[in-house]
Amino acid sequence: MKRRDFLTTTSAALAATTLSGCSKADQPVLRIYTWADYLAPEIAKRFEKENGCTLQIDTFDSNEAMYSKLTAGASGYDLLTPTSYMVKALVREQLLQPLDHAKLPNLKHLDADYLKRALDPKMTHSVPYMMSATCLGWLGSKVGNPVASYSMLDRADLKGRVTLLDDMREVLGAALLSLGFPLNSKDPAELAKARDVSIRWKKNIAKFESEQYKSGLASGEFHLVQGYAGDLLQVAGENEDIVVKIPREGAAFSCDDLCIPVKSTQAALAHKFINFVTDPANCAENMVGIAFRAPNSGAYPLLSEDFRGNDALFPSPEIFAKCEPIDDLGDALALWSKTWDEVKAAS
């Protein structure tokens, strides 16, 4: 699953933070492999200062790219932030070490309701970091009579102005949900129906797009897009014409998790980092800094009413009940890949 492309200003600030410590040869280095701009710069600086260390951040743009690199033998990383379904795959490959909860007292602040649906509910190998729904975003001035529903993807008046994520888990998952099926269905008949819906949507879109949909929506090139809440909320903050909603049929609402590779040489420092970012005050500041929601009950009261009131981050119980995390497909991955190939090949 690919991920969003964040604001350049945030990226530059974080890069400066990382590079500024490169000459501090006497300090321990915590090497983090993560999504682009997934840590507020002020949080990074504070952790470095409080722990007398340097953060070295490498980035990936998809779980699959990260997985391929690690399974090919890449080492040198002390902390990862894969999506929960990929954590399961990494555990299966014996690439993650169990966490020492005695070093993580701030785990008590994690959202108990979220943990009930988490893929690693006992946090044996991973700790929830940030989660985000896959939403629909549209221009209010261009889309008349909008409804927060996948039915919008069929609207003839929007033909050629719509994008879908270039991601089989997101598109086929959305099609499954639109039909009332589970997001992670392994049923061949259900996937066949989802394929047909996806092909129908494909005929109405401009393209599959996972990188530039955010800027395309902001510029008016696209009028309706499927995208990640964090991306869309960033541009919505700069353009009041943009509306961001979770579809009423439900959506992927996945979490990226903090975990430590078995080959980490700084496991103790990695535990300190996990405990640091799950501290409620740090967690709340980090959420606001990157426009994502952490499942941290201790941090919720520290957030502004505007942030807490955003239903793309904090959906109603009725909508959230219809959302599901993307899960590991196991042996069904081949069926999904074949189905997606059929969507991409269809004219």
- How much is the pLDDT for 24? 61
User: Topology of domain 132-252+313-345, per CATH?
Assistant: D-Maltodextrin-Binding Protein; domain 2 (3.40.190)
Q: How would residue 117 be classed by pLDDT, with cut points 50, 70 and 90?
A: confident
Cα-only R_g, the chain: 20
- The CATH class that applies to domain 8-131+255-308 reads alpha beta
Is it the case that residue 15 has pLDDT exceeding 70? no
3-class SS of residue 72: coil
Average pLDDT over residues 241-270: 96
Same fold, 8-131+255-308 and 132-252+313-345: yes
Question: Residue 282 corresponds to which tokens in the numbers above?
Answer: 């740090």
pLDDT tens sequence across 166-197: 989 999 999 999 999 999 999 999 999 999 99
Please list, in sequence order, all residues whose beta carbon lies within 8 angstroms of the beta carbon of residue 178, skipping any fewer than 6 positions away.
Answer: 150, 151, 197, 247, 249
Is it the case that residue 14 has pLDDT exceeding 50? no
What is the C-alpha separation between 138 and 241, in angstroms, rounded? 8
Residue 195's CB is within 10 A of a number of other CB atoms, namely 20
Residue 100 burial (CB < 10 Å; 0-12/13-18/19+)?
exposed
Q: Hey, where are the domains in the chain?
A: 8-131+255-308, 132-252+313-345
Please give the angle made by the CA atoms of 302, 305 and 308, to the nearest 5 degrees. 75
Q: How would residue 25 be classed by pLDDT, with cut points 50, 70 and 90?
A: low
pLDDT tens sequence across 290-335: 889 999 999 999 999 999 999 999 999 999 999 999 998 989 999 9
Is it the case that residue 18 has pLDDT exceeding 50? no
Any idea of the CA torsion for 322, 325, 329, 332, to the nearest 10 degrees? 20
Q: What is the mean pLDDT of the chain?
A: 91
